[in-house]
Structure 1
Amino acid sequence: MQNISKLLETLPVISQSRLVASGFGIWVVWKGDLHGVVDNTLQEFGALCVAREGEQALWYCNTVEVFRAIARLQVWARVNPMPVFCQLVPLTFLAGYNLEFSVSLSVELDRQRVAPPNDFEVVVHPGLKERIQSVAGLSTEPAGSMDGLANVKWLRLVADQGLDYESMLRWYFIIKPLGRMSDKESIVGWRDFSTDIIELLQRLGLKYISDVKEGALFLPLDNFRLLKSFCTEIVNLIRCNKEASDKKYWPVVMAAVPQGDLHFTADLPRKVGLDWNRLTPDYPHVRFMDGFLLSPWFRMNEARYGAGPVSLDSWCTLSLRDAEGSRGYGTMQVPLPNALVASDGGGECFYCGLKNHEASQCPSRKIVTPQPQVWRLLAKADFNDFSDGFASLDTDLSKEDFVSGILKVMESRDDLESLLARAVFEINVPVQLRTLKLVWRCRSKEWDGAFKQLAPQEGDYIWEALDCLEKGDMDNSERFLKDAQIKYPRSYQPQSLWGYWYLERGDTTQAMFHWQEAERMSYTPLQQGCMAFLQARLMEVEGDYKNAINTYKRVNTLAPSWLQPVYRQAVCMVKMGFTGQAMDTLFDLVDRDPNYFNRILVDPELDRGRVQLLSAMWEKWNEAEKSVETTRKQVEDLTDDISRRFDETHPYFEAANEELDRLRGFGQTNNYVAYHQLLQGTDKFRAGLDDEVRREVKRINANIGHLTERVRGIQREAAWFPFPKLLREFNKEFNHCVDKINWIRTQRLQEADNFRKSLRFSDEIEEHIDSLQGRLVTLRIIRDATLFILMLGRSFIWLELIGLGILLVALPSLIYFTQGVEGNIILDTIKDPSQRWEISKGLVIILSILCVAAAAIKSALTFDKRKRELFDQIDKEIRGSTSKRY
């Protein structure tokens, strides 16, 4: 038994429906292998297979063509029997905001079961009886109750065997080139590219009509298979011509229009009811139902041209899916709110570019000052939430008037919905009145940082005129403006405000004149650039894109650092349909300022080229995602590297970890700007880390050199210590310092472990050297005292020996030469044999005392000189061995 509930379980759950449509469902159950004619026939008649599981499938169709398809199968099965059961029931089709689709069945139908069929059988829900009878040749008859099916009065389909029930599903495919066929560039470009298209049509055997005046080609496509084939061929032709350097290419807009009551005549493009100037170039436009039928081979992208609800008759664009195994391909999924891109039939608002209100009613006039922080806040938002934020914004704006609704949303300022709304009105801030206030007060000549320091408000009447204009009091504003112009006839300020006054009056000619006068009267390049920018913007909203681009280029020469004129040039090219040519400019802006990536995502004025832009931006996004995935790991590696290199007490440790935490936060935000900040910040951090390591290594090497000199000094001081056995602890600490110095000198300090050890060893060495120098004071005292005693002893011995020698010679000589002298008490005493020994001992004692005194004086006078001589000698002896150790 096949259960329909198993099919319904395979369908996605759609929480918010972008599209709801009633239609017809076909529950198909078969036994064995399903004959290919079933799928082919249902598809050719416009049915969409929404679910398939095992030996059953569920199809959906929004037209009565499905009845012809089933009748055709029934007629065919009488000649070619096949075991297939078909049930026709009412079915509701649902599509989400990402164009995923599902269906909804009534409660009585979603639990049906049926046994495998033995023959071709069709049952019809009684609610479809009248719709079936509206098709020529079809009728119904009672079928009675059936086991496993819902308890309703089922009918059988009765088909007239004499009819062939051919499908009425046919299309006209129209191709129109961009540009005016009166321009030489457009004529040459389209002529070369149309040659390739005509060759394709001839190869496929398709008849076509060429409108020379409009430059259009259009052809009939009589079945679904031909529609799929031709869409594939034309998209591939455009892709090949774009990528090949030797091929000719010119942008075109294309649409597959249901034939209906339209006739294949030369005026067909003008009768289909499409605004060709708003179609996205290079992508076929089809109805939503046709897009869902083609979705297995193409990607669908919504194209909205009205404020009404989306239906299966709304328009979408197709982009070819890449084959399995080919290079990656995708698109950014950020559908803009219908309220922001829909048109009420009027022109673009000068202030914001939306088409659903007049300039005098623009919500941007209620915003007091520029808010550049919007882009910084938007960079912190998750890209995946953009779609939900816009969907919520669309829901809120659908409940009330647009202007009051959007102002209420922006005033909340606490959610993504409000942030996205403010970002939309921040895109064109240079042309809004809040910027004019700043330009009047600015004295800078350049746009970079121009509004950081402003002069106070100066001038009579002009500020009152501006205030009245913002409030919509046009009469008083005019009165103040006239007074200001009389008082300041050579000032650009009244002229610039006159331009806005006439703009809101609807007189764009006078607005252009006054802005031209304001530019002529301006004093600085900044003021001239601003006034020229207003002129270019006015040309843009009036559709004069070529002159607008040229004027934006002139603004760029006046303010080379200002990116906004460059961005507006790209927007104008997109509005003209030349999206491919605008991409290089837009992506160059993204490289210079990544916030332009988010600007492109939320800009409603890029809606014409949105499909192509989002597809191209996906490549940039995908590349950034891959780089970020690697960079996230690098940030973790850098965190480990910092922990391995630096101790927590090191001043760089805390600052480095704060920066790494900030980078880690960027990596957790799915936003291109955050990705760019992560990639750029990681490179900058790595460069800073390398610089810090180099500085530390240089400091370590310099410190080690200084410590080496201190160790050498300690060695010199301790070398003459006379009691080496007492230096066991001193030598142990000294050798520890020498070993650590040698280790630091021989290691590659750029490695993390060696780097951290060297920092720690440097501190240890310094501590040990301080300890050694403290011990060295005692050693120096003992050494110097010992050296002095040795020098004193040596001098004393030499003086004593000399003195004793002199005494030994002098005393006998004195006795001998004074034998004849009598009466001298001293001589008599010396000559007395009994007193001679006592006299000799006294003389020796006196001599020793004198020698000690003389030796002490001599040693004291020559101690420093002699010590230096001895140390210099020992330095020469140990210098060789010392150099080998360090």
Structure 2
Amino acid sequence: MVASGYGLWVNWSGDLNPSIIQTFQDYGGLHLATERGQALWFFFSTDVFLALARLEIWGKFNRLPVFAQVFSAKLLFSSKREINLSVDTVLAAQTAIVPDEFEVWVHPRAREDGKGLPGLTFEEHKPYTGLASAEWSLLHADSRLPYQSSLGWYGVLKPLGNPLEKGFQAGWREFFKEVEQAFQRLKIKFMLFENYVFFQVDNLRTLRLWCKEYLHLIGSLKEEAPERYWPCVQALVDRKGLNFNNELHKKVRLDWDQLVPDFPHMSYRNAYLLGEGFEVHDTRFNADSSSVDDWCNINLTLSDSDTIGILPVDISNRLVAGAHNYCFYCGLRTHEPAACPTRHFEDLDTSIWNKVAAMDFETINTGFRTIDAALQGDVHEGVKTVLGREGLDNVLLRAVFSVTDTFQLRMMRRMWLARGKEYPKGVDELAPKDDNPIWGTLNTMLAGELIPAEKELQQVVIRFPRDFRSRTINGFIAMERGDLIRAQQLWKEGESFSTSPLLQAYHVFLQGRNLEIQGRFQQASNMYKQVLRLCPQWLEALYRQAVCQVKMGFADQAMGFLLGLIDKDPHMFNRVLLDPEMERGHIQILSALNVPWTETEAKAGQMRDGLEKLRLDIATWFPEEHPFAEQALARISRLLQLAQVKNFVPFMGLLQGRERLDRDMQMRINQEARDLKQKFKYYLDRLAYIRDEAAWFPFPGILIEFNKQYNMCAANLNWALKTHFQVAETFKRAQKMAEVEEERLKLLETRLRFLRVVRDATLFMLIMGKTFFWLELAFMLLTLIGLPLTIYYGQTIMADWATDLVVKQKWQIQKGLILILSVLALGVAALRTAVVFEKVREKLFRKARGLG
């Protein structure tokens, strides 16, 4: 098979923006090869110019160092369906330099086909060095045009069997319910006529999703609920030249009786545009398939057979659809701003997103089905009914209204009382309500009396000429009356009268929103960028830029903003799902968000399984009564509760909570390991002191039990100081050992006090005995010498009575003197020992230690 079309050669520096690849795919690009900063694509139609035009416009606001070249080419299919691109030899030998900005070079033969497209201009330009010699042109696009892809398809689904049979009627009815739900999820329009189902697919991404959804539905029903399956044949045709009516099946040149049930049938061209994840099979309608427009059928590849690729969230159609423009306050199209239910909301609902985070997708869909049922009659009355009752639908509707609470009157009330200068702290620091008459004007406005409210404002402005609040509310009044130009001017005045960066950013926000609802999305994005310069933490401004891109049709590019926001605040995930203003890119966004959802769900499943292991790990590191163990087990229980809810926010809370728990556990182990080391060093110092004190004990035979306890303590402390506590077994052993050795040291210190008393008493007795010995010896010598001398000198001085007394009572006197002197020696020895004991003891210790 041979197909004529256009080759696209792309060169880039650095990392290629994924939005470029997605744009090429959405416009019917067939990726052929990628190597070393360059890629080759093939387009069957002039949609290649439309894709490049959109990227050229986007490149004006975002730096894209990309070189793109368009030329005529042919795509060759071998008998084995291998693809080759046929181009001129001169073109194949080119080299290119990547520019600083996005550039599109068009070959003269291809240029002729693109000239008929509105909004495109081709500027002839001298080719760079390395390009083929030809009259090359640079492509430029008018940014005012949308450049929508011309791709589109009509589909026909036909059940097999006799419509008159009961089995057909019952089986087809059940199967059609499943198909109808798939249509609603993908926002595909359809109609039923004589058991034929006609539907239209507007873009290539929806075609991919529909084929995946349908084939997955067939496989799951056959396996899980065969009673709800009914065989059908399906054909998808290009809508060009056809009308969407109940005669469509007659205008498709196809023999329905030859179609294989279950597998969608389409041209080879469309089948290959589906890209990876699909297998292409020949239908063999013709002997030889020689054209890419011949029929084939497709099936899912094995690697992609169990994935749908889109989040299963169905927002109420009656809530989103409407005949009005987007409401300034809430973004819905069911009412004018003056009739918006949010006008009467008193304060911000700060807990609403936590409530949404407790819902899984099925719960959310159930809530929206309830809302849809409530809105079947009068939408306004239905909204009041839902808001007036408690329940799941009430929470979801309030969440939808909270998506744009920055632009609502309840935020204005907050800003009037805000004390802070930065977001978000400034909104939480509120001053008490003053007696300014502006509050009465607000009540008049809420009552719907806009003209009296304006008259009251005139008096307020006279009394308070520089009060920004009068400009703020006057801007809302002008907006509700439809005078958006005056509203813009009033909010601009309010910005100039604002007294803090927070208030200035708020008024810039209102101006940006005013431009957004007028469809001036680029100017609105610039306003939101200004908000970020004033309040960098106000992520709502970044979110609104993404919404503007979605409204412009750049949903793929907006995903860069949205994924970044989701990383910073997981609640943004649910917010994107419920935002009614994302309707234009709803399918693309749900498809793109499926990637982080699938990854997070898989990680959460692994974390959920790992929490039980972590519970066991904690038990191996810490005893049950340990404070950290009790705290960690409580945190694990809370994380396991989060894992029960299939929602992105609790899953992210589970991942982040597990990471924090692991980090805290490691920090606690490291800290306690350091504390244990210090504790064991302190224990060793105490043990050394005990050793030094016990070494002086004079009766080693009594120290057998004491030495045994000492040796055990010393061995354990030496082991602890030489061991690293990064293994659970040793860490836990060290914890128990610290308690045991603490008790052992207390026991040794208690025994040491007794040993010290015995030691000191013994030393005291030795010192006193030594002193007593020498004193006693001296007194005895004095007695032996003094008594004879007394007799001798007594006779000399003629003291006969004394001499006679001494001679006669010599032994009695000697015994008395010895007793008296012994008592005196003992007393003096005790007194001296008490005085010199500490000095002598320290001197002996110093001498023994070799210090003296």
Match of 1:378 among 338, 356, 359: 356
Match for residue 700 of structure 1? 676
Matched, 1:341 2:245: no
Write the distance in 2 (CA, Å) between the matches of 1:855 and 1:711: 36
Say yes or no: does 1:389 pair with 2:293.
no
| Counterpart residue number, 1:679 | 655
Structure 1 residue 741 displacement after superposition: 2.8
Partner of 1:854: 828
Give the structure 2 partner of residue 584 of structure 1: 560
Answer yes or no: is the 8 Å Cα contact 2:50–2:148 preserved in 1: yes
Contact 1:331–1:618 at 8 Å: present in 2 too?
yes
Aligned counterpart in structure 1 of residue 205 of structure 2, from 255, 276, 283: 283
1:354 offset after TM fit, Å? 1.9
Question: Matched residue of 1:643: which SS?
Answer: helix
Q: Distance in 2 between matches of 1:658 and 1:749?
A: 25
TM-score by length of 1: 0.64
In structure 2, the partner of 1:330 is 309
Q: Which secondary structure state, in structure 2, belongs to the residue aligned with residue 253 of structure 1?
A: coil
Distance apart, 1:619 and its partner CA: 1.6
Contact 1:378/1:598, CA 8 A, preserved across alignment: yes
1:214 equivalent among 110, 118, 137: 118
1:63-462 equivalent positions in 2, closer than 5 A: 177=50, 195=70, 212-214=116-118, 252-257=148-153, 283=205, 320=275, 322-323=277-278, 324=301, 330-344=309-323, 346-397=324-375, 399-415=376-392, 417-458=393-434, 460-462=436-438
1:215-273 CA distance string (max 9 Å, x none): 69xxxxxxxxxxxxxxxxxxxxxxxxxxxxxxxxx98534425599xxxxxxxxxxxx9
Label 1:199 to 1:433 Cα distance change in 2 as closer, same or farther (>3 A): farther
Larger radius of gyration: 1
Aligned equivalent of 2:840: 866
- Compared CA separation, residues 280 and 351, structure 1 to 2 (3 A): farther
Looking at structure 2, the residues matched to 671 and 290 of structure 1 have their Cα atoms a distance apart, in angstroms, of 23
**Structure 1 residues 294 and 791: alpha-carbon distance in aligned structure 2, compared to 1, 3 A threshold:** closer
Please list every run of 5 or more consecutive structure 2 residues that lacks an aligned counterpart in the other structure. 1-44, 77-83, 88-109, 121-145, 157-188, 191-199, 220-233, 237-244, 249-269, 279-300
Tell me the amino acid that sits aligned with residue 826 of structure 2.
Answer: V
Larger mean CA deviation between 747-756 and 421-430 belongs to 747-756
User: CA, structure 1 residues 311+860, in 2 after alignment: closer, same or farther (shift >3 Å)?
Assistant: farther
Question: Is contact 1:800–1:847 with CA below 8 Å preserved after alignment?
Answer: yes
**Whole-Å separation in 1 of the counterparts to 2:564 and 2:246:** 38
> In structure 2, how many angstroms separate the alpha carbons of the residues matched to 1:752 and 1:279?
60
Q: Structure 2 vs 1, CA of residues 199 and 862 (structure 1 numbering), >3 Å: closer, same or farther?
A: same
| Structure 2 SS opposite 1:738 | helix
Change (3 A) 1:375 1:822: same
SS at structure 2 position matched to 1:443? coil
Does the 8 A contact of 2:359 with 2:647 survive in 1?
yes
SS at match of 2:428: coil
Distance 1:842 1:703, change over 3 A: same
Go from structure 1 to structure 2 and tell me whether the alpha carbon gap of 1:333 and 1:809 turns closer, same or farther (over 3 Å shift).
Answer: same
CA distance in 1, matches of 2:52, 2:478: 31
Q: For 1:502-560, what per-residue CA distance to the aligned partner results, in whole angstroms no more than 9, with x for missing partners?
A: 22222222222222222233222222211111111121111111111111111221221
**Paired residues for 1:431-830 under 5 Å:** 431-458=407-434, 460-805=436-781, 807=783, 824-827=800-803
**Structure 1 pair 859–294 and aligned structure 2 pair: CA distance change class (3 A):** closer
Q: Could you tell me which residue of structure 2 aligns to residue 60 of structure 1?
A: none
Q: Which amino acid counterpart does residue 335 of structure 1 have in structure 2?
A: D
Residues 154 and 201, structure 2, Cα contact 8 Å, conserved in 1:
no
Distance 1:682 1:284, change over 3 A: closer
**Corresponding residue SS for 2:459:** helix
The residue type paired with residue 494 of structure 2 is A
CA change 1:183–1:591 in 2 (3 A) is closer
Residue 629 of structure 1, CA deviation = 2.8
Residue type at the aligned position of 1:443: R
Q: What is the RMSD of the two structures over their aligned residues, measured on CA atoms?
A: 4.7
Distance 2:416 2:370 in 1: 38
In structure 2, relative to structure 1, the CA distance for the partners of 1:187 and 1:432 (3 Å cut) is: closer
Q: Give the Cα–Cα distance (whole angstroms) in 1 for the partners of residues 686 and 677 of structure 2.
A: 14
Contact 1:537 1:548 in 2 (8 A): yes
One-letter amino acid of the counterpart of residue 446, structure 2: E
Matched-pair contact (CA < 8 Å) for 2:315–2:368:
yes
Shifted more, 726-735 versus 584-593: the winner is 726-735
**Structure 2 SS opposite 1:794:** helix
Closer/same/farther in 2, CA of residues 792 and 290 from structure 1, 3 Å limit: closer
Change in Cα spacing, 1:806 to 1:820, as seen in structure 2 (3 Å) is same
Q: Distance in 2 between matches of 1:428 and 1:734?
A: 74
In the alignment, the residues of structure 2 paired with residue 259 and residue 695 of structure 1 have an alpha-carbon distance, to the nearest angstrom, of 67
Distance 2:539 2:844 in 1: 78
Deviation of 1:431 (Å) = 0.8
Q: Counterparts of 1:503 and 1:584 in 2: how far apart (Å)?
A: 32
Deviation at 1:563, TM superposition (A): 0.6
TM-fit CA distance, 1:677: 1.7
Shift of 1:599: 1.0
Structure 1 Cα separation of the partners of residues 318 and 86 of structure 2:
42
Change (3 A) 1:611 1:750: same
| Equivalent AA in structure 2 for residue 336 of structure 1 | I
**Which residue does the alignment assign to 2:20?**
none
How far apart are the structure 2 equivalents of 1:767 and 1:637?
34
Match of 1:142 in 2: none
Instruction: State whether residues 181 and 215 of structure 1, in contact with CA within 8 Å, keep that contact through their aligned partners in structure 2.
Output: no
Tell whether the 8 Å contact from 2:312 to 2:361 is kept in structure 1 after alignment: no
User: For residues 773-819 of structure 1, what are the alpha-carbon distances to aligned partners after superposition, in whole Å with 9 as ceiling and x for unaligned?
Assistant: 34444433333222222222222223333444555566667778999
What amino acid is the match of 1:400?
G
Question: Are 1:329 and 1:619, in contact at CA under 8 Å, matched by a contact in 2?
Answer: no
Q: Which runs of 5+ in 1 are unaligned?
A: 1-171, 217-249, 261-272, 302-309, 878-886
For 2:664 and 2:115, locate their aligned partners in 1 and report how far apart those are by CA, in whole Å.
Answer: 65
Other-structure match for 1:93? none
Counterpart Cα distance in 1 of 2:672 and 2:339: 63
Task: Please give the alpha-carbon distance, in whole angstroms, between the structure 1 residues aligned to 2:753 and 2:312.
Answer: 79
CA offsets 1:361-412 (integer angstroms, 9 cap, x no match) = 2222232221121112212222443333333332332x22222212322333
CA deviations 1:342-370 (Å, max 9, x no partner) are 242x3221112222322222222232221
SS at match of 2:465: coil
CA gap of 1:854–1:311, structure 2 versus 1, over 3 A, is farther
C-alpha contact (below 8 Å) 2:46/2:114 kept by paired residues: no
Name the CA distance, whole Å, in 1 between partners of 2:476 and 2:384: 22
- In structure 2, relative to structure 1, the CA distance for the partners of 1:471 and 1:381 (3 Å cut) is same
Amino acid across the alignment from 1:256? G
Change over 3 Å in CA distance of 1:300–1:373 after alignment to 2: farther
Amino acid aligned to 1:361:
A
